[in-house]
Chain A
Amino acid sequence: GAVVSQHPSRVICKSGTSVKIECRSLDFQATTMFWYRQFPKKSLMLMATSNEGSKATYEQGVEKDKFLINHASLTLSTLTVTSAHPEDSSFYICSARPDSPEQFFGPGTRLTVL
């Protein structure tokens, strides 16, 4: 149990376009979802925390207008990278948390902006 999926697994886009990444909890309801970013050979950095039906809480230094997060249901959160630039290229990982402290992670999305 406790499976989290992400779609797409890999995306390549042109500079200036927007990219949407989906995170779904497949077999449980997630009251909270988290979005992380990972640079090559670096650890995961928390970008934002999203609770179903409310605005996301962004970590310091993360632009909320750049990284739009929507948590419209208890099983789906989306991250939209707006007007993407090459420096936004990264590995994005989501996690979902039911009513317990443990988080369950998605397989990640590799974003490459040309």
Chain B
Amino acid sequence: KQEVTQIPAALSVPEGENLVLNCSFTDSAIYNLQWFRQDPGKGLTSLLLIQSSQREQTSGRLNASLDKSSGRSTLYIAASQPGDSATYLCAANTDKLIFGTGTRLQVFP
């Protein structure tokens, strides 16, 4: 049974810092891994999707890496801004998406 965990559970940083959010999964037989952002009371915004054959994906200040063999993915946020404050969820896709526990990020000015 696939289990997905994320650390840290919460993170509070000053504006401008570079951040690393971690995601680990127990079953490496995944199609892809996806990172989402969720603002309070809102739905999900897809940030990056990494196919199982890929090692990383980049979009603007975001970079996600995937190491299937070790069951890990990281989301790197460069030069964080207050607008990045949200909950970040990773999800491993093994025909169905299993979500991690989330990291609540607060970036203060």
- The chain A residues found within 8 Å of chain B, CB to CB, are 6, 34, 36, 42-46, 49, 91, 93, 95, 101-108, 110
Contact = CB atoms under 8 A, between A and B. Distances in A.
Contacts, number: 44
Contacts of B95: 101
A91 B89 CA distance: 16
Main secondary structure on B side of the interface with A: strand
Nearest to B4: A43
Given A46-B97, A103-B97, A93 B32 contact: no
B42 A107 contact: yes
A18 B46 CA distance: 31
A105 B44 contact: yes
Interface residues of B, number: 21
Contacts of A45: 99
Contacts of A101: 31-32, 93, 95
Nearest to A57: B96
